[in-house]
C-alpha cells in the first residue's frame, strides 16, 4: 500500500521537518501543518507545496477549522509555498475577511509577492517578516 505523500522535491521548512505537528491536512502536492497550540490561542498553519485549484482543499479545511474555533489570531506561514494561483488567493481573501486577526508570515516567496502586487491585494494583508516572535 502506498501512502499519499507530497513529492520529495517539495520544500519543507526546517521547523516543520523537526517538529511533531499537531495536525496535518494533505492534498497530494500541498499540505498544511497546524503547529502546536500556543498559550495565547493563536492558530499557526504552515503551508507547504503547490496550492492550485486541485490542491487548495486542505487549506480551506484547515482555515475553516481555525475560524470555527474563534481563535483570536490566525497565522499562515507562507515560506514553503512553491505555487499559488487564483484559488489559493481566494482562500486567503476569504480568511482575511472571516478571521479576527490574520497574519501572513514569511519571508513571502517572490512569486506570491508578485501575485499580491498584480492583483492589488498586497495592501489587504498584514505581514510578519519571519518565524520570530509574533507581535
Q: pLDDT tens track of the chain, all 135 residues?
A: 333 434 433 434 434 333 434 456 666 789 999 987 666 788 999 999 999 999 999 999 999 999 998 888 999 999 999 999 999 999 999 999 999 899 999 899 999 999 999 999 999 999 998 766 666
Cβ atoms of residues 48 and 79 within 8 Å: no
> What is d(CA 130, CA 105) in angstroms, rounded to the nearest whole number?
6
What is the C-alpha to C-alpha distance for residues 74 and 99, in angstroms, rounded to an integer?
7
pTM of the predicted model over 0.85: no
Q: What is the pLDDT of residues 67-82, one digit of tens each?
A: 998 888 999 999 999 9
Amino acid at each position: 500500500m502506498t501512502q499519499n505523500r507530497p513529492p520529495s522535491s517539495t520544500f519543507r521548512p526546517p521547523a516543520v521537518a523537526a517538529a511533531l505537528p499537531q495536525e496535518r491536512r494533505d492534498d497530494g502536492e500541498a499540505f498544511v501543518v497546524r503547529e502546536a497550540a500556543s498559550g495565547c490561542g493563536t492558530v499557526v498553519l504552515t503551508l507547504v507545496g503547490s496550492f492550485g485549484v486541485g490542491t487548495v482543499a486542505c487549506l480551506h479545511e484547515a482555515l475553516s477549522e481555525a475560524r470555527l474555533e474563534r481563535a483570536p489570531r490566525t497565522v499562515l506561514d507562507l515560506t514553503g509555498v512553491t505555487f499559488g494561483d487564483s484559488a489559493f488567493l481566494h482562500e486567503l481573501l476569504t480568511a482575511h475577511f472571516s478571521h479576527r486577526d490574520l497574519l501572513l508570515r514569511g519571508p513571502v516567496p517572490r512569486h506570491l509577492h508578485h501575485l499580491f502586487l498584480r492583483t492589488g491585494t498586497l495592501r489587504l494583508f498584514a505581514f510578519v517578516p519571519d518565524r520570530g516572535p509574533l507581535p
